[in-house]
Amino acid sequence: MTQVSITKIYTFEAAHQLPNHAGKCANVHGHSYKLEVTVSGALQKDGSSSGMIMDFVELSTIVEREVLNQWDHQFLNDAVSFRTTVENLAQEIFTRLEKANLSVTQVRLWETAKAYATVTK
């Protein structure tokens, strides 16, 4: 039994700060975040999205509405009520996309070119 998933990659720029962090992240600074969203499920049998899990355009509409439009070029500490670690941000993205009825199975958020957090269902 094989499983199919699709993944789309997004980028956004944002500033944040980790108060009480024993290091450079205690200062306000920015990241060029890269976000990978993976959706799994059965392929649709008919209609315009036949043979697809979902249309990439539809996926992007949801990701933009739930995440990118709210966080791009923002100070994340003002945009959310939790500590803005990459782990917490990835979990928040996963939760928002699930609540938007997306059959998301993985979110990977890159904070730098070398560091990311992954949330998997």
Q: What is the largest CA-CA distance in the chain?
A: 55
Closest CA to 37 of 86, 109, 96: 109
Active-site residue flag, 111: yes
Closest CB to Zn ion among residues 44, 88: 88
Closest CA to 111 of 1, 24, 12: 12
Closest CB to Zn ion among residues 6, 25: 25
| Residue least distant from Zn ion (Cβ) | 25
CA distance 119 to 42: 21
CB of 31 to Zn ion, least distance (A): 5
Amino acid at position 65, single letter: R
Active-site residue flag, 25: yes
Residues that bind Zn ion (CB under 5 A): 25
Active-site residue flag, 66: no
The neighbouring-strand residues paired with 29 are: 16
CB of 78 to Zn ion, least distance (A): 15
Q: Which is catalytic among the residues 13, 21, 25, 31?
A: 25
Cα-only R_g, the chain: 16
Closest CB to Zn ion among residues 85, 95: 85
CB of 87 to Zn ion, least distance (A): 12
Name the residues annotated as catalytic.
25, 73, 111
